[in-house]
Amino acid sequence: MRETNLAETIRAGHARLRATTDIRQAALEAEVIFVIVPTPSEPDGGFSLRHVLPALDEVGKAIGATAERRVVVITCTVMPGHTGGPIRERLEAASGKKAGTDFGLCYSPEFIALGSVIHDFLNPDLILVGESDPHTGELLEAFYKKVCENDPVIARMNFVNAELSKLSVNTFVTTKITFANMLAHLCEQMPGAEVDVVTRAIGHDTRIGHKYLKGAAGYGGPCFPRDNLAIGRLAREHGLTAALAEATDRANRAEVNRLKESVRAHCQPGARVGILGLAYKPDTEVIEESQGVLLAEALLEEGIAVVVYDPMAQESARAVLGDRVAYAGSAIDCLRECQVAVLVTPWKEFGALRAAALGEHAPRLTLIDAWRLPFASMFLGRHPGRSSRKCGR
C-alpha cells in the first residue's frame, strides 16, 4: 500500500528502526508495545479479535519472562468491553501477571485517514487513552506529547469509555455526512437552491462546523461504514436500537442507486459511461466500500458500458471489476471515450482538467460532478442540483 511520505519517513528514521517477525523478542526489548493488527467486521457488525488474541499470547509470554514492567497499547478498533474483557484476560493468562499492577494496558485508537496517515498521527485533534491505571496513562501521555508535532487534547479514561468514544466519533461524522447529502437531495428538487450555499452558511454555527459538511455521495473506506454497524450491534446486545446509526447506514447505501439514476437520466441507449475515481478517497489506492466501484457494478448490472480511470486505484479495482469495464490511461482519455461521465473521487488532477483538451468532444459530453470542481462548469449537464453532489469520501 502506498502512503504519503511513508518512504521519506522510513529513510529519516532508518537508524532507529528494526523489523522482525519474532513478536515475543520484540516485546521483550520494548518498553511500550503497540498492537496494530486487523479487527475484521463480523457478519453481525462486531469486530473480530481473531488476529489480536494470538498476537497477545506472544506478547504475554514476553511480559511473563521479564521482571521489568511493560505497557501494552491496543490501537486497533475493538468493541466496547473487549479491552477490559478478553484482551486483558488473554494477556494475564499468557503472562501470569495482573494488568494495572504488574504490567500496563491501554486502549488508544488512532484517528487517521489513508493517504494522510503520517500527518494525522503527528497532528491529531484528539488522543484517547483508556488506561488500566494512572501510572500507565501518564506514561503513554508523555509518549504522545513527545512525538506529536501539535498540542492535541489527550483524554484519559477507563477502557469502555475510550472504546465507546472511538465508535462515537466515526458514527457522528457519518451522520454529519449523510445530513449534508440529505440537504443536497432537497436542493436538487428546489429551483434556485444550492447545497454549498446552505452548508457554508450553517457551518459557521459553532455547534455545527464546516468539516465533513459537504453534500456529496456516500462515504466509504475501511472504517466509516463498519463503525456505524458496530454501534448497531452494540445497541442490540443491550436491548436497545441505535436508530440514528442504522438510518445513516441505510441512507448511505442508497446513495449509489441515486447516483446511478442520475446517470440514467442523462444516458442515451447504447451510451458509454465514464467514471473518474475508483478509490474511496483521494491519495490512496484503497477501494473498500468505494462509491466509484459500487457505481460501476450498478451500471454494469443495467447493461451499461463503463470506462474507468483513477490515478492510483486502477489495479485495485481491476481485481474486482476484471474485464467487465474498460480502463482508460488518463482522465482525458476516459472523458473522450464516453458520452456521460461521473466525477466520483475529487483527485487534485481532476480539478486541473480543461474542456479544451477534449476538442470537439466537449459539447457532446455530459459531466455529473460530485465535488463541484471549477472545470466542471465548462461542460454541458452541470447545474446546482444533481451535478453538484455526487461522490465518495
Residues 265, 152 share a domain: no
pLDDT tens-place string over residues 22-35: 999 999 999 999 99
Residues 228, 79 share a domain: no
User: Beta-strand (E) ranges in the chain?
Assistant: 32-35, 71-74, 104-107, 126-131, 153-157, 272-276, 305-309, 326-327, 340-343, 366-369
Residues 233, 143 share a domain: no
CATH number at residue 357: 3.40.50.720
Residues 150, 238 share a domain: no
Residues 235, 115 share a domain: no
Q: Is residue 117 part of a domain?
A: yes
The rounded distance, in Å, linking the Cα atoms of 98 and 81 is 18
| Given 187, 223, 267, 334, the catalytic residue | 223
pLDDT tens-place string over residues 240-274: 999 999 999 999 999 999 999 999 999 889 999 99
CA dist list (Å): 328 to 143, 309, 340: 47, 5, 15
Task: Identify the domain boundary among 138, 157, 176.
Answer: 157
Task: Identify the domain boundary among 141, 157, 173.
Answer: 157
- C-alpha cell belonging to residue 133: 491505571
User: Number of structural domains, the chain?
Assistant: 2
- On the question of pLDDT at 192 being above 80, the answer is yes
- On the question of pLDDT at 390 being above 50, the answer is no
Residues 152, 237 share a domain: no
* Radius of gyration of the chain from its Cα atoms, rounded to whole angstroms: 24
The answer to whether 108 and 127 have CB atoms below 8 angstroms apart is yes
Q: Is residue 197 part of a domain?
A: no
pTM score, whole prediction: 0.89
Task: Identify the domain boundary among 136, 157, 178.
Answer: 157
Over residues 323-343, the mean pLDDT reads 95
SS3 call for 359: helix
Is residue 391 annotated as part of the catalytic site, yes or no?
no
The rounded distance, in Å, linking the Cα atoms of 16 and 380 is 55
The answer to whether 62 and 24 have CB atoms below 8 angstroms apart is yes
Q: What percentage of the chain reaches a pLDDT higher than 70? A: 95
Q: Is residue 184 part of a domain?
A: no
Q: What percentage of the chain reaches a pLDDT higher than 90? A: 83
Residues 377, 231 share a domain: yes
- On the question of pLDDT at 89 being above 50, the answer is yes
Q: What is the pLDDT of residue 176?
A: 97
**Domain that includes residue 90, residue range:** 6-157
Q: Is residue 267 part of a domain?
A: yes
Residues 382, 266 share a domain: yes
